[in-house]
Amino acid sequence: MATYFIEYEGILHKNQDLEIMVDDIIPIITINIPQNSDVIGVTAPNFDISIEEPNLNKTWYSLNSGANTTFIRLTGSINQALWDALPEGNVIIRFYVNDLAGNIGFANSH
């Protein structure tokens, strides 16, 4: 950051440069657990994810494009009541993350 002075109408004015950071990088999510094609029973699965994003804001997941469920830790369990409400068959778990600039990244496990 630099400071400079401008003379305007005989008066010396102090100005400062502003440093602005532009963040247009999408956060990266890696799903460690569950892995694609895992066979899971009636008990909701655990999850373990990794996130590459220095300005993390919020994390959430959805099951089969349903309602979003927020979470804080990078490990945990899928909500059992939501899991119980799913029909038998393939399930797509989509994890999302956004950063402070509003960029959203996601990854699927199915």
Nearest to 96 by CA among 26, 44, 24, 25: 26
C-alpha torsion angle, residues 85, 91, 93, 94 (rounded to 10): -110
- Going along the chain from its start, the domains and CATH numbers come out as 23-109 (2.60.40.10)
For residue 82, give the 3-state DSSP assignment: helix
pLDDT tens for 52-105 read: 999 999 999 999 999 999 999 999 999 999 999 999 999 999 999 999 999 999
**φ, ψ for residue 14 (rounded to 5)?**
-95, 130
CB 44 within 8 A of CB 79: yes
pLDDT at 20: 72
Tokens of 12: 């010396």
The reply to whether the predicted model has a pTM over 0.85 is no
